[in-house]
C-alpha cells in the first residue's frame, strides 16, 4: 500500500475506532509522529500499521471496561472508586501521569501495581486469587490495564517528579538503564542507546529519541508474535531476560524504577494506546 493510502486509512476509520482521551485514534497519533520524524523504527512494519485500526487489543479494552465497572471481589464493589492519581474513578489522562507517588500506599506505583493495590484494598482480592495471580495473557489484569491506559491515548506523557520518591525512582531507573551487568555485560542502553540498531530484522527504538521512545513505551499493545496483549511489566521482564540478568519481580520497586525512567524519557510525546507490536 502506498504511503498516501496508509495515511488516509486512519482518517477514514477514526470515527469507528474506540476513542481514548482525545478524538485521535492510536494509528492517527502514530501517523502524525511518522510524518514529523524520519525514523526507520517507527515505519518498520507496514503490516502492523495496517492492523491498528481493528487490532485485538480493542477486545481487551472493551472487556476491561466491563470488568472495571462491575462489582467484583469479596467486597462486591467496582473499581470506580480507585484513585489512579487524578481522583477516584478519573481515568482520562491518569496513565500518562504514572508512575506517581500515592500517599495512601506511601509508595510510587505504576499502573499495574496501582491496579492490584485497588483490587486488594477496595475489592478485597488477595494475592492467592486468580484475578491477581494471573498476570500475563488473556487475563483480567491485562484487560483492565488496556481499558485504563487507553483513556490516555494521544495525551503527552507527563509523569510527576515533584515528590522526592518520584524523583528517586526515576533516578534509580536511570542507573539501571545504563548499568552494565550479567554474563553478557549488557545494559539497556547497549540495545536502546543508538538510532537504527537492529536485532535480526527488528529496528530497535532509541531511548534518546523521544518520538521513537513514545512508541516503545506505549503499552498495553497487541504483540503479534505472541498473539496476546502485553503490558509494560511484561516488556520489562522480557528485556531483563534478554540481558541474561536475574529475573525481575513483577511490580517490584526495580521494575517501577525502570518504568519511571522510561516514561520520563518520552515526556511531552503522545501516548499511542493501544499499540500493535511485532
Ligand atoms: C540485547 C538487546 C536488548 C537489551 C539489552 C534490552 N532490550 Fe529492550 N528490546 C530489545 C528487543 C529485541 C526488543 C523487541 C523489538 C521488537 O519487538 O521488534 C526490545 C523492546 C523493548 C521495548 C519496546 C519496544 C517496542 O518496539 O515496543 C522497550 C520499552 C524496551 N525494550 C526497553 C528496554 C529496557 C528498559 C531494557 C533494560 C532493562 C532493555 N530494553 C534492554 C532488545 C534489548
- 8 A C-beta contact, residue 237 and residue 250: yes
Shortest-distance atom of ligand 1 to CA 232: 29
Q: Is the pLDDT of residue 77 over 70?
A: yes
- Per-residue pLDDT tens over the stretch 150-181: 999 999 999 999 999 999 999 999 999 999 99
The single residue of 82, 118, 188, 239 carrying the catalytic annotation is 239
- Ligand 1 atom 41 nearest Cα: 188
Q: Is the pLDDT of residue 93 over 80?
A: yes
Report the C-alpha gap between 54 and 277 in whole angstroms: 14
- Ligand 1 atom 25 nearest Cα: 216
- Per-residue pLDDT tens over the stretch 197-243: 999 889 999 999 999 999 999 999 999 999 999 999 999 999 999 99
Q: Please give the C-alpha separations between residue 217 and each of 95, 101, 125, 270, in angstroms, as whole numbers.
A: 12, 20, 29, 11
Q: Is the pLDDT of residue 16 over 50?
A: no
Place of cell 462489582: 71
Per the annotation, the verdict on 239 as an active-site residue is: yes
Q: Could you tell me if the CB of 186 is within 6 A of ligand 1? A: yes
Q: Could you tell me if the CB of 226 is within 6 A of ligand 1? A: no
In the prediction, which pLDDT does 21 show? 64
Grid coordinates standing for 33?
A: 509522529
Q: Could you tell me if the CB of 37 is within 6 A of ligand 1? A: no
- 8 A C-beta contact, residue 152 and residue 29: no
Span from the CA of 195 to the centroid of ligand 1 (angstroms)? 13
- Per-residue pLDDT tens over the stretch 235-245: 999 999 999 99
Query: Which of 30, 192, 218 is the best mutation target for the ligand 1 pocket, counting ligand atoms within 8 Å of the beta carbon and taking the most?
Result: 192
Report the C-alpha gap between 260 and 173 in whole angstroms: 7
Q: Could you tell me if the CB of 223 is within 6 A of ligand 1? A: no
Report the C-alpha gap between 23 and 133 in whole angstroms: 35
- Ligand 1 atom 36 nearest Cα: 188
Span from the CA of 64 to the centroid of ligand 1 (angstroms)? 26
- Per-residue pLDDT tens over the stretch 29-40: 999 999 999 999
Q: Is the pLDDT of residue 15 over 60?
A: no
Report the C-alpha gap between 41 and 265 in whole angstroms: 17
Kindly report the average pLDDT of the chain as a whole number.
93
Residue range 65-80: average pLDDT?
A: 98
Shortest-distance atom of ligand 1 to CA 275: 27
Span from the CA of 26 to the centroid of ligand 1 (angstroms)? 21
Q: Is the pLDDT of residue 20 over 80?
A: no
Shortest-distance atom of ligand 1 to CA 225: 17
Q: Could you tell me if the CB of 190 is within 6 A of ligand 1? A: yes
Report the C-alpha gap between 259 and 181 in whole angstroms: 19
- 8 A C-beta contact, residue 149 and residue 142: no
Query: Which of 204, 207, 226, 232 is the best mutation target for the ligand 1 pocket, counting ligand atoms within 8 Å of the beta carbon and taking the most?
Result: 204
Band of pLDDT at residue 13, cut at 50, 70 and 90: very low
Grid coordinates standing for 137?
A: 495473557
Band of pLDDT at residue 11, cut at 50, 70 and 90: very low
- Per-residue pLDDT tens over the stretch 111-149: 999 999 999 999 999 999 999 999 999 999 999 999 999
Nearest 5°: the CA angle 173, 166, 120 is 95
Amino acid at each position: 500500500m502506498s504511503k498516501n493510502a496508509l495515511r488516509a486509512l486512519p482518517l477514514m476509520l477514526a470515527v469507528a475506532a474506540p476513542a481514548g482521551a482525545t478524538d485521535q485514534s492510536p494509528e492517527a497519533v502514530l501517523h502524525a509522529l511518522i510524518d514529523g520524524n524520519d525514523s526507520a523504527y517507527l515505519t518498520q512494519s507496514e503490516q502492523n500499521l495496517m492492523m491498528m485500526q481493528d487490532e485485538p487489543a480493542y477486545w481487551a479494552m472493551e472487556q476491561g471496561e466491563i470488568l472495571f465497572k462491575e462489582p467484583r471481589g469479596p467486597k462486591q464493589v467496582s473499581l470506580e472508586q480507585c484513585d489512579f492519581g487524578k481522583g477516584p474513578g478519573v481515568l482520562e489522562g491518569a496513565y500518562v501521569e504514572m508512575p506517581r507517588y500515592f500517599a495512601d500506599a506511601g509508595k510510587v506505583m505504576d499502573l499495574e501495581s496501582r491496579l492490584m493495590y485497588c483490587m486488594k484494598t477496595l475489592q478485597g482480592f488477595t494475592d492467592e486469587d486468580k484475578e491477581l495471580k494471573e498476570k500475563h495473557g488473556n487475563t483480567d489484569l491485562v484487560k483492565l490495564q488496556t481499558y485504563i491506559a487507553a483513556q490516555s491515548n494521544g495525551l503527552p506523557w507527563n509523569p510527576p517528579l515533584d515528590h522526592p520518591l518520584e524523583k528517586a525512582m526515576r533516578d534509580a531507573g536511570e542507573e539501571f538503564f545504563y548499568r552494565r551487568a550479567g554474563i553478557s555485560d549488557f545494559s539497556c542502553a547497549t540495545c536502546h542507546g543508538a538510532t537504527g540498531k537492529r536485532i535480526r530484522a527488528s529496528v530497535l527504538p532509541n531511548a534518546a529519541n523521544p518520538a521513537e521512545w513514545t512508541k516503545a513505551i506505549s503499552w498495553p499493545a497487541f504483540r503479534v508474535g505472541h498473539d496476546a496483549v502485553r503490558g509494560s511489566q511484561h516488556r520489562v521482564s522480557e528485556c531483563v531476560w534478554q540481558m541474561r540478568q536475574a529475573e525481575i519481580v513483577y511490580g517490584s520497586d526495580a521494575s517501577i524504577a525502570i518504568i519511571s525512567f522510561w516514561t520520563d524519557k518520552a515526556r511531552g510525546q503522545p501516548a499511542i494506546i493501544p499499540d500493535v507490536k511485532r
